[in-house]
Amino acid sequence: MRGIFGWSLPPGAAGDPSAPWNQVEQPCDVCGKAVDWCICPECATCGQMGAPECYEAHGLNRNAEQLAGLAELEAAYQAQADADEAEYRAWRESKNLGPDEES
């Protein structure tokens, strides 16, 4: 849709959770970094970057920086999971719920 000030979105489009501009980018599966900061080299066979299947099928080797980035991402995921678990336990205790009870 084009308005008098250039391109504009239809009503409600900016807040649509399934719109591409509202999607969370997943980190690279090989180096663990954001897509814009991916450090993976381009595969000489197929031309893809950050594709784990290239490392297995085309004999690519992960470098130390890729392994460190992936370890950092996994540590961040584990820290978030631990925080979520602690928050859930605190909530259960605040409700005086036993191990098999739900509110």
The mean pLDDT value for 24-37 works out to 91
- Bridge partners of 42, per DSSP, are 49
Sign, Cα dihedral of 48, 49, 51, 57:
positive
pLDDT in tens, 35-56: 889 999 999 999 999 999 999 8
Predicted pLDDT of residue 97: 81
Q: What is the pLDDT of residue 10?
A: 74
The helix (H) or strand (E) run that includes residue 7 is strand 6-7
Predicted confidence (pLDDT) per residue in 68-83, tens digit: 999 999 999 999 999 9
pLDDT for 103 beyond 70: no
Per-residue model confidence (pLDDT) at position 101: 65
CB 30 within 8 A of CB 55: yes
Q: What percent of the chain has pLDDT over 90?
A: 54
49 burial level (CB within 10 Å; 0-12, 13-18, 19+)? middle
